[in-house]
């Protein structure tokens, strides 16, 4: 080893080169990327190091910390006395993704627009590719599937040109999911196959991500089931079994991989197989100290269904309670992170500064930017609604539910409506009829609702209906009409042999405690499920004064 004898400028160039390597490896080796970035925090390249750490914080769900790092990096990199470089574009991209996750699609679109403008100014294929791809993902998140597909397809050849094998595989995965949602399982199959070919190529072996392979295999299995391709089903099941037999993946902490494999394999083979496949995932979570992982809520739901099918109703109820606790904990943690991030961003007025700088710097708009500006208002409207059903989404439900609960003169009546045996219906009739069933039920709920009610999709097969100024017992009585309407509806028009019933739990939300009222309705729903389904039940909310 020789001593370093170069100039300080050469040293800074070496450090910037190390940061560039760290950025390129941020997804495949996040711990190494973080170590390299932290080593540069006290150097002149601190702002660029901060961008890497902000990206890693965003991907880990630490939104508040990510926002703070991005504000500092943007202040340092976006100066009029220095020419913009690719790191400014990376900052804008990460901030745009953060804004999208904070349910602010309009602000996200503006930031993606500025990133794409900078990509063209710098002639940067990387910035253009990740900007188009992530804009597509943001549009998919708010249900704008047409524009999402357009931008993902435009990003794909750019990612292939870089080359970026991980980016190509992820783009193919997203395009495949879009195709499945659009009822095109054959097209989805082709995307998933090509993504796996990228993963399996010898020259990308060092970049292979086990979690990406498990997600691709699980998605390809879903597409194969939709097309009835028995050979492809057997092929993907065998591949998932091979992954399940690779302890190095699971021992290294990839809980998501174990969950993907267990849900894909166990839930197709009956309740006993579900227990045998999914229970070890809970054991793995305990060994890794990740019992609070949000993804385990789905594991508990599947275990509850399996226990109920096997006659173990006590076990079914225990798993339902565990799923509820995990969902509440995850929701509370996510909201806390969102509030912290929004507080940081509002305090700095970062978007106002960006908009003003953009106005001063640019005298013309490219065609993509005109499209993005037109899109802003459209995305703002979509951010409040569920893309599949057209009802309000979970985010708006909690915002408006808290307001109604705090301001209502009488207790706010809360109803949770859940489709009975939804997974079995999906397994028998397929993904597309399942989506049509959800849209139809949403329409029946909308027809039942009165002026002043709020109807929202709570998640999956669950819907929430709020009615101010009416007590929960009275609301429960009126909901019998909705229950009968659903049971008597001509579901044969959706799929031959389809029959649908719903279970409904009702409670009051008193004072500012909307989540407590929602939780009481949720517990009431579980009692309805445990007592036989296809019924409406009112339960007292512990936060409300009796009588």
- Rounded CA gap, 393 and 508, in Å? 21
Strand 462-467: give its sheet, edge to edge. 454-459, 462-467, 412-419, 502-509, 536-538
Residues 6+ apart with CB under 8 A from 364: none
User: What confidence score (pLDDT) does residue 90 get?
Assistant: 94
Question: Which residues face 385 on adjacent strands?
Answer: 392
Which tokens in the block code for residue 210? 């086990």
Q: What are the φ/ψ torsions at residue 56 (nearest 5 degrees)?
A: -65, -35
Residues 6+ apart with CB under 8 A from 191: 172, 173, 175, 176, 179
- pLDDT tens, position by position, 291-325: 777 678 888 888 888 888 899 888 888 888 887 78
Question: Which residues face 502 on adjacent strands?
Answer: 419
- Rounded CA gap, 101 and 61, in Å? 10
Which tokens in the block code for residue 91? 């900052």
For domain 386-538, give the CATH number. Answer: 3.30.70.270
3-class secondary structure per residue, 427-487: HHHCHHHHHHHHHHHHHHHHHHCCCCCEEEEEECCEEEEEECCCCHHHHHHHHHHHHHHHH
Q: What DSSP designation does 546 have?
A: P
Give alpha helix (H) positions in 310-363. Answer: 313-348, 350-361
Selection from 501, 384, 375, 312 nearest residue 142 by Cα:
384
User: What confidence score (pLDDT) does residue 378 get?
Assistant: 54
Using DSSP's 3-state secondary structure scheme, residue 209 falls into coil
Which tokens in the block code for residue 24? 């390129």
User: What confidence score (pLDDT) does residue 12 get?
Assistant: 59
- Rounded CA gap, 481 and 532, in Å? 18
3-class secondary structure per residue, 163-206: CCHHHHHHHHHHHHHHHHHCCCHHHHHHHHHHHHHHHHCHHHHH
Checking DSSP bridges between strand 454-459 and strand 412-419, what pairing results, if any? unpaired
When computed from its CA atoms, the radius of gyration of the chain, rounded to whole angstroms, is 25
Within 10 Å of residue 496's Cβ, how many Cβ atoms? 9
- Rounded CA gap, 379 and 382, in Å? 5
- Rounded CA gap, 245 and 142, in Å? 37
Dihedral sign computed on CA atoms, order 100, 106, 108, 113: positive
CA distance from start to end of the chain: 82
User: What confidence score (pLDDT) does residue 218 get?
Assistant: 86
Model-wide pTM > 0.85: no
Which tokens in the block code for residue 365? 């708009």
Dihedral sign computed on CA atoms, order 168, 169, 173, 176: positive
Which tokens in the block code for residue 543? 């936060």
Which tokens in the block code for residue 60? 């880990």
Within 10 Å of residue 123's Cβ, how many Cβ atoms? 8
User: What confidence score (pLDDT) does residue 382 get?
Assistant: 56
User: What confidence score (pLDDT) does residue 1 get?
Assistant: 32
Q: List the pLDDT tens digit at each of the 547 positions of the chain.
A: 333 333 344 455 688 889 999 998 888 788 999 999 999 999 999 999 999 999 998 888 788 888 889 888 988 898 767 788 999 999 999 999 888 877 778 888 888 999 999 999 999 999 999 999 999 998 888 788 888 899 999 999 999 888 778 888 899 999 999 998 888 999 999 999 998 887 666 555 444 567 788 888 888 988 988 888 999 988 988 888 887 776 555 444 477 777 778 877 776 678 888 888 888 888 888 887 777 776 788 888 888 888 888 998 888 888 888 877 877 766 665 565 555 555 555 544 444 455 455 555 554 444 555 555 555 555 555 567 887 888 988 888 888 888 888 776 677 899 999 999 888 888 788 878 888 999 999 999 999 999 889 999 988 899 999 999 889 999 999 999 999 999 999 999 988 999 999 999 999 988 777 888 898 999 999 999 999 999 999 998 877 776 5
Give alpha helix (H) positions in 267-312. Answer: 271-288, 296-309
| Residue with token string 């729903």 | 525
User: What interhelical angle do 165-181 and 145-161 show, nearest 10?
Assistant: 160
User: What phi-psi label fits residue 16: left (phi over 0), alpha (psi between -120 and 50 degrees) or beta?
Assistant: alpha
User: With contact defined as beta carbons under 8 Å apart, do 104 and 379 qualify?
Assistant: no
- Does domain 163-245 fall under CATH 1.25.40.10? My reply is yes
Q: What are the φ/ψ torsions at residue 419 (nearest 5 degrees)?
A: -75, 130
User: What phi-psi label fits residue 233: left (phi over 0), alpha (psi between -120 and 50 degrees) or beta?
Assistant: alpha
Q: What DSSP designation does 207 have?
A: G
Selection from 22, 140, 8 nearest residue 90 by Cα:
22
């Amino acid at each position: 080893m020789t001593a370093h004898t170069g100039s300080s400028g050469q040293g800074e160039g070496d450090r910037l080169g190390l940061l560039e390597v760290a950025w390129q490896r941020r997804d495949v080796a996040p711990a190494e990327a973080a170590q390299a970035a932290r080593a540069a925090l006290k150097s002149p390249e601190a702002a660029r190091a901060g961008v890497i750490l902000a990206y890693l914080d965003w991907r880990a769900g630490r939104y508040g910390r990510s926002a703070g790092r991005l504000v500092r990096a943007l202040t340092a990199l976006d100066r009029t006395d220095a020419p913009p470089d690719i790191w400014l574009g990376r900052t804008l991209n990460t901030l745009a993704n953060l804004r999208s996750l904070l349910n602010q699609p309009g602000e996200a679109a503006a930031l993606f627009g500025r990133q794409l403008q900078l990509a063209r100014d710098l002639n940067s294929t990387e910035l253009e590719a990740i900007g188009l791809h992530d804009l597509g993902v943001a549009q998919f998140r708010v249900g704008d599937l047409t524009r999402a597909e357009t931008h993902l397809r435009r990003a794909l050849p750019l990612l292939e040109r870089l080359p970026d094998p991980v980016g190509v595989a992820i783009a193919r995965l997203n395009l495949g999911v879009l195709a499945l949602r659009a009822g095109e399982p054959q097209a989805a199959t082709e995307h998933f196959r090509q993504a796996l070919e990228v993963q399996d190529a010898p020259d990308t072996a060092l970049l292979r991500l086990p979690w990406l392979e498990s997600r691709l295999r699980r998605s390809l299995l879903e597409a194969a089931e939709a097309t009835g391709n028995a050979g492809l089903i057997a092929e993907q099941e065998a591949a998932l079994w091979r992954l399940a037999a690779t302890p190095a993946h699971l021992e290294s902490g990839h809980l998501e991989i174990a969950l993907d494999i267990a849900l894909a394999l166990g839930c197709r083979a009956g309740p006993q197989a579900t227990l045998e496949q999914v229970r070890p995932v809970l054991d793995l979570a305990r060994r890794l100290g990740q019992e609070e992982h949000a993804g385990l809520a789905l594991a508990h739901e599947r275990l509850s269904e399996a226990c109920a099918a096997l006659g173990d109703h006590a076990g079914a109820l225990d798993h339902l309670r565990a799923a509820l606790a995990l969902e509440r904990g995850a929701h509370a943690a996510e909201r806390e992170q969102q509030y912290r991030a929004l507080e940081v961003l509002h305090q700095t007025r970062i978007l106002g500064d960006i908009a003003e700088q953009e106005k001063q710097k640019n005298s013309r708009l490219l065609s993509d930017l005109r499209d993005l500006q037109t899109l802003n208002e459209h995305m703002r409207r979509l951010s409040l609604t569920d893309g599949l059903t057209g009802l309000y989404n979970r985010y708006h439900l909690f915002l408006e539910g808290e307001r109604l609960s705090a301001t209502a003169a009488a207790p706010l009546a809360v109803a949770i409506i859940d489709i009975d045996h939804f997974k079995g219906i999906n397994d028998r009739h397929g993904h597309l009829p399942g989506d049509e069933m959800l849209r139809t039920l949403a329409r029946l709920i909308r027809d039942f609702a009165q002026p002043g009610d709020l109807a929202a999709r709570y998640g999956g097969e669950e819907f929430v209906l709020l009615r101010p100024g009416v007590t929960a017992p009275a609301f429960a009585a009126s909901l019998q009409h909705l229950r009968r309407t659903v049971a008597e509806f001509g579901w044969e028009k959706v799929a031959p042999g389809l029959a649908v019933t719903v279970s409904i739990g009702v409670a009051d939300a008193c004072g500012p405690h909307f989540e407590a009222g929602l939780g009481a309705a949720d517990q009431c729903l579980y009692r309805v499920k445990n007592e036989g389904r296809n019924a409406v039940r009112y339960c007292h909310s512990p936060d409300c004064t009796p009588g």
